[in-house]
Structure 1
Amino acid sequence: MQRTPLSDEKIEHLLQEFRVLAEQFAQAKATRVKFEEARKIRKARLMVQAEADAGIVSAQKQERYAYAHADYAETVRNLVAAVEQETSLYWKMESLRLEFDAWRSLAASERYEKSAYGVPPTGAAPRKGGDSDRRLPAVSVPGSRPAAGDGLL
């Protein structure tokens, strides 16, 4: 599988796009909260109106009047649109975050692979001693006999 690293320009573009989306997301969230509160206010005012205009004193009947009113339905439609906008922006941000995290993971894997084969990081001086300084430590397994010359005797 050929990995294509992200260029510095692409990374900066992703970060800039994330910043713009984060600002839009904050505005969308504020709008959603505003409409949630407006829905409660609209309901309360319509319940008061039900009592004043129609003489409805039962809270349950006032609530039913408010829920059935066109003004309340309009407020709910506005709330739905705000939730859709907020959710859309959230998932766009999440998509950018996942793309960036995938790139970070690939870059880390590539760095590990290179270090395992003794390839120096870009711009670093080559290691002295080659692979000879990468020996694994001897491990003793219970019940086994050490091999001759492994330094355990």
Structure 2
Amino acid sequence: MVSKAGQPAPKTYGEDRDTNAWKRLLEQKGIDGVIIATPWEYHAPMAIAAMQAGVAVGCEVVAGITLQDHWDVLKTQLSTGTPYMLLENVCYRRDVMAALQMVRQGLFGELVHLQAGYQHDLRGRSALAHRAFGRAQR
């Protein structure tokens, strides 16, 4: 697609199942940002390394596997100031953004407890879902 638009083809990393190619990518000069769309267990280490290298991150869900992974991603973003965006399209839907704005404007009063859910049954689709979060109960 890029070549058809008359631009030089981008350099790619990770051919031949090279699991360290992403680290070499971060060593390159002139990298403005990365999109992380790898298996879940790589998201946190890749995002943290990218932010530490000053490279902006767009990361598919999930941000990490463990709660500590999520804290580490947040702490790295806060300490480096490098842009990070979770690429979860549900978070940015108009209705979800409207609800967030209503909360921020205090339209619901003081929130003491709030609970929400996102129904996305991964049973049978991802071995990692069972390994990371335990088996879902019916």
TM over 0.5: no
Q: Which has the higher contact order (CA 8 A, sep 6+)?
A: 1
TM-score, L = length of structure 2: 0.20
Greater fraction of residues in helix = 1
| Rg larger in structure | 1
Q: TM-score with structure 1 length normalisation?
A: 0.18
Q: Which structure is higher in strand share?
A: 2
